Amino acid sequence: MEQNQQQAITEHPDYPGVPAYPGPALPPSTSLRAPMPSPQHHPVAHPTPHPYAPSATMGTAPVRWVTDQRPTSGAVIAIAWVLTVVTLGYLLPWAVAASRGRANQGAIAVLNIFLGWSFVGWVVSLVMACQAHRVSVAPTANVLVVNQPPAQPVQPVLPPAGWYPAPDGYGQQYWDGRTWTAHRA
């Protein structure tokens, strides 16, 4: 019998080497995975994630980090590298910033042109061009905030006044709506 059970357990179709769910068969429409939210449910436009940005996973949906990297025209990159070759490396920081899509590539170019003649200005602009991109949008959890009034103490709902069977079990006793009275019937 043990051999029959081992033969019935097969590999999971998505994860090689992992045994499949050995329990009762699920109907074809049933899935063990949580439903994924579709992009049209999120009205906020999100910037395109950086391809080399670190990603994390929450459940089964990947969470992408969005950086401040900007798309750069191929012409700007070509001009930057041609001018770098023509100036014998003087505009190298600007070419690096343009190639990497730095959001502050204009500031790096201005710093490089006006202060690059000093070795310190050139090194500072090169360091600025080589810095890591900043994370502009971190993954957020969907949080629903509901404004609720302050909690009021809950008053127990008591039965209305009237004659009820006595708590001690002998006859009836009058309940005045808050407490038992001494009246008995």
Q: SS3 string of the chain?
A: CHHHHHHHCCECCCCCCCECCCCCCCCCCCCCCCCCCCHHHCCCCCCCCCCCCCEEEECCEEEECEECCCCCCHHHHHHHHHHHHHCCCCCHHHHHHHHHCCCCHHHHHHHHHHHCCCHHHHHHHHHHHHCCCCEEECCCCCCCCCCCCCCCCCCCCCCCCEEEECCCCCCEEEECCCCEEEEEC
* pLDDT above 50 for 147: yes
Helices 92-100/119-130 angle, 10° precision: 10
Predicted model pTM: 0.43
Greatest mean pLDDT range, 24-33, 54-63, 66-75, 140-149: 66-75
Per-domain residue ranges of the chain: 74-132
More confident position, 158 or 57: 158
pLDDT band for position 60 (cuts 50, 70, 90): very low
pLDDT band for position 142 (cuts 50, 70, 90): low
CA distances from 8 to 13, 22, 25, 28, 32 (A): 14, 8, 11, 18, 19
Rounded Cα distance, 36 and 13, in Å: 20
Task: State pLDDT tens for residues 86-127.
Answer: 999 999 999 999 999 998 999 999 999 999 999 999 999 999
Contact, 51 vs 65, CB < 8 A?
no
* Per-residue pLDDT at 69: 85
More confident position, 81 or 177: 81
